[in-house]
Amino acid sequence: MLDSSASAPVTVRPEHAKDDHPEVAEPKIGILLANLGTPDNYDYWSMRRYLNEFLSDRRVIDYSPWIWQPLLQLIILSKRPFSSGAAYKSIWNEDAGESPLMTITKAQTAKIKTEMQKRHGDTVMVDFCMRYGNPSTRSKVAEMTAAGCRKILFFPLYPHYAGATSATANDEFFRSLTFEKWQPVTRTVEPYFGRSDYIEALAQSIERAYAGLATKPDILVCSYHGVPIRYLMEGDPYHCQCQKTTRLLKERLGWEDTEITTTFQSKFGPEEWLQPYTVEEVARLAENGKKNIAVCAPAFSADCIETLEEINEEIKESFEEAGGESFTYIPCLNDDDAHIDALANVIDDNLKGWIG
């Protein structure tokens, strides 16, 4: 576990303090990165605990709990922990005893910490938390305030805003603040789906992947995690932000419309989700003669079950069964240097007035 509080906080006495005052830590600025979360293991109970917390979140599934909870507890959570557990097992980082999302989030945090300390020295403290599972948002907010962070910048690591991701991470952060006697000053970070440094990092990763291929793919499929269409109609801007990322990427790469497309994956439940669905679109592409495709996943800042298992196993299979010949998955930006630099720039832009 990455431990940014390894050195004990330096404590000072308030200037007017008598002996009956507690000591307080030297003030710092906390940068708390947040990702979605992940199970502690892939066994039935670890999976059930994780999925229960995740799928009970009303920002994710907004049905009335009177209808949803019996369905979730009695039907979904009696089956899905087995199938999801098997999917996690196929991608698990056995050496570290954790999921890829956890390993990559730790690597990102370590690099961002080095970069921020290079830029700002010891006035900043960098750490990460998860919305579901461990390390919890509440535990990290408590650690940061105890270490003297009188200001905290909370940064959900999603390029695009969605109620089911950024907003629920922020909700949990705000709830965590309710437990602090001396609440820090806080800010949350604007989505970065259109920033030129993020688009540049994406474009470079695609150019690198294409340079290593014998033949240029017929098309690049930008596969974003989906949400129900109803969420878009109720005002969630996620769809439009995803479309904009693809357009900016296409412009930066200097490509034609026919060389790149947007799709949505990971449909869950009976409602209609954003379309086209990746799993169907790759089959259609193969049937229409596009036998050589590449797929990237710009909505994910780190590879996870949805990219390593769903895209690179299920979606690839759908393409090949429809006659596709060559399927290249381009990994997420993860701890790529250009990505870390872009994230550090997002942090710096959001620290304005607090630092420098």
**Both tokens of residue 191?**
């989505």
- Report the C-alpha gap between 355 and 146 in whole angstroms: 21
**Nearest CB to ligand L6N33NVT, comparing residues 101 and 222:** 101
Answer yes or no: are the C-beta atoms of 297 and 328 closer than 8 Å.
no
239 is a site residue for Fe ion (CB under 5 A) = yes
Q: How far is the CB of 60 from ligand L6N33NVT (least distance, A)?
A: 5
Site stretch for Fe ion (CB under 5 A), options 10-18, 105-113, 204-212, 233-241: 233-241
**Nearest CB to ligand L6N33NVT, comparing residues 4 and 307:** 307
267 is a site residue for Fe ion (CB under 5 A) = no
Q: How far is the CB of 192 from ligand L6N33NVT (least distance, A)?
A: 13
Q: How far is the CB of 173 from ligand L6N33NVT (least distance, A)?
A: 17
269 is a site residue for Fe ion (CB under 5 A) = no
At residue 14, the 3 state secondary structure works out as coil
- Interface of this chain with Fe ion, residues 160 to 189, rule: CB under 5 A: none
Alpha-carbon distances of 348 from 5, 116, 155, 189, 352, rounded to whole Å: 21, 9, 12, 10, 7
Q: How far is the CB of 43 from Fe ion (least distance, A)?
A: 21
Binding site for ligand L6N33NVT (CB under 6 A): 36, 38, 60-61, 80, 84, 99, 101, 158, 162, 164-165, 225, 227-228, 238, 266, 268, 299-300, 304-306
Residue burial 46-76, b: 16+ Cβ < 10 Å; e: rest = bbbbbbbbbbbeebbbeeeeeebeeebeeeb
**Nearest CB to Fe ion, comparing residues 10 and 240:** 240
If you count them, how many residues does the chain have? 356
**Nearest CB to Fe ion, comparing residues 12 and 240:** 240
- Report the C-alpha gap between 207 and 201 in whole angstroms: 10
| Residue 94, marked binder | no
| Residue 160, marked binder | no
Residue 114's H or E segment, with its range, is helix 100-120
> Other CB atoms closer than 10 Å to residue 325's CB: what's the count?
11
Q: How far is the CB of 239 from Fe ion (least distance, A)?
A: 4
240 is a site residue for Fe ion (CB under 5 A) = yes
Return the DSSP state at 27.
P
User: Which residues contribute to the annotated binding site for Fe(2+)?
Assistant: 225, 306
